[in-house]
Amino acid sequence: MNSNPSLILPCETRVREFDAKLLLACHAAERGWRVFVGSKRSLDFQAAQIPLGTYVGKSLTYRNAHFYRIVCNLGHRLTAWDEEGLVYANPDLYRLTKIGDVTLNMPQLLLTWGEENAAALSAHPSFGGPDLAITGNPRTDLLRPELRGFFSAEAQALREEFGDFLLINTNFSRLNHFFDQQNRQQRLLRDGGAAVTTAEDPRIGLAAHKAALFEHFQRMVPELARCFPDLPIVIRPHPSENADLWHRIAAEHSHVQVVHRGNIAAWLQAAMATVHNGCTTAVESYLLDRPAIAYRPVVSEDFDFDLPNSLSVQAFDCDSLFTAVEKVRAGQRCEFDALLACRRNRIRRHIASVDGPMACERILDALEPVAAAPPPAVDPVARAGAVIHAGARRATRKALEVLPLSKQHPKYRARIFPDVEIAEVENAVARFGELLQRFDGVKVRPFAESAFELAAD
């Protein structure tokens, strides 16, 4: 490897990504990388100032192509994975909604969750042959037995605060977004969306299915609260959802609360069980050996997210949901324990790092040859243009902060990526070190707003 290569790990959603990428940063720093990790906004703003290195993008939508072009023209090596590449309705719909034709072929290396994710990407009609590495994702490393203790104190604090509670996870951000104008599935159902969309477009079918589930969940919560008046219930909306709707529903019942804070792993460890539909948190619950209940009042072979539902106890109406909750309260785990046993081989196809080497180690094994290769030739004119474009992009986004309905508005940014202080990062690195008996030489220093540099002594 080159001496002290730079590794750039941007995080868009703090509660979803930051802890996992900080763990990856610790592993990388121990191997000799100079790692920049934290808020995607901050790191992207500083892309021209970061020493040339390897940028690990977090998605492959068409919207990423412009900035990825800047990254490449600056002289960084571009690699990427898809944070949303684990759970989807079917591969065709995943490729249609999450993968940009141009973006897919921009990285030198694509890191995938598992065999299924790799197959979905390589089967894309526009796939041009970027290298693929089946590595897993560091988010699942945090769920392995050797690292579950990272969230033990937080989980215990949640149990003390909420008691023996039931967790309801919602994932309706495209129908109930923080900003109304971002409700893309509502627009699809209202007017068909873009002109190229036809009535047969599967995105409309998915939107209709999600809208039906959304209505059922709004009716289910009060019924569940009435059926179990002594059971604490916590609703945790998707990070991009507008929580106001759920607060209005919860206000009718003193034992129902809406909370959005902290890594989901702590909540899953603390909760009696989790209720969801097609949510990644059910996969995480499975990996933590915690019960999950899939509430499925409407069923679609084409649009249900099969993986998380298949790892959960099934409830097709409120009565069966109430029965499942009652069994969990009584300590009856037979149905869920049977799932743990029979689904293990399936989960390995979706997540490469369920056992064996951690995803962090697999990822770095794949990235080191990229960093060791001769640096890409950069046209000085192209680099100068990229510096200008990066500055213009930064200025535009800062200007948009004043618009109350902009995703750049501080209120929305505070929801998606609350500020991180260096003491929190140092504490997390120390806890990782205690659990894994390593990282003694890894030091942290501030780099930009909610972004940090990690390196070994």
Other C-beta atoms closer than 10 Å to the C-beta of 226 total 10
Tokens representing residue 266 in the block = 């702590």
Contact 69, 175 (CB under 8 A): no
3-state secondary structure 337-401: HHHHHHCHHHHHHHCCCCCCCCHHHHHHHHHHHHHHCCCCCCCHHHHHHHHHHHHHHHHHHHHHH
Q: Which residues pair with 77 in a beta bridge?
A: 54
* Separation of alpha carbons 107 and 98, rounded Å: 16
Q: What is the pLDDT of residues 278-296, one digit of tens each?
A: 999 999 999 999 999 999 9
Q: What is the pTM of this model?
A: 0.93
Candidates 216, 334, 353, 229; CA nearest to 287 is 353
Q: What would the CATH number be for the domain defined by 148-350?
A: 3.40.50.2000
* Separation of alpha carbons 277 and 332, rounded Å: 21
- pLDDT computed for residue 289 by the predictor: 92
Residue ranges matching CATH 3.40.50.2000 in the chain: 148-350
- pLDDT computed for residue 1 by the predictor: 40
Q: In what order do the strands lie in the sheet with 233-236?
A: 256-258, 233-236, 166-169, 273-276, 292-295, 313-315
* Separation of alpha carbons 441 and 28, rounded Å: 12
Q: What is the pLDDT of residues 57-103, one digit of tens each?
A: 999 999 999 999 999 999 999 999 999 999 999 999 999 999 999 99
> What is residue 123's three-state secondary structure?
coil
Residues of the chain scoring pLDDT < 50: 1-2
- pLDDT computed for residue 355 by the predictor: 92
Tokens representing residue 48 in the block = 């021209």
- pLDDT computed for residue 265 by the predictor: 94
Tokens representing residue 451 in the block = 């972004």
* Separation of alpha carbons 140 and 182, rounded Å: 29
| Residue 150: φ, ψ to 5° | -60, -30
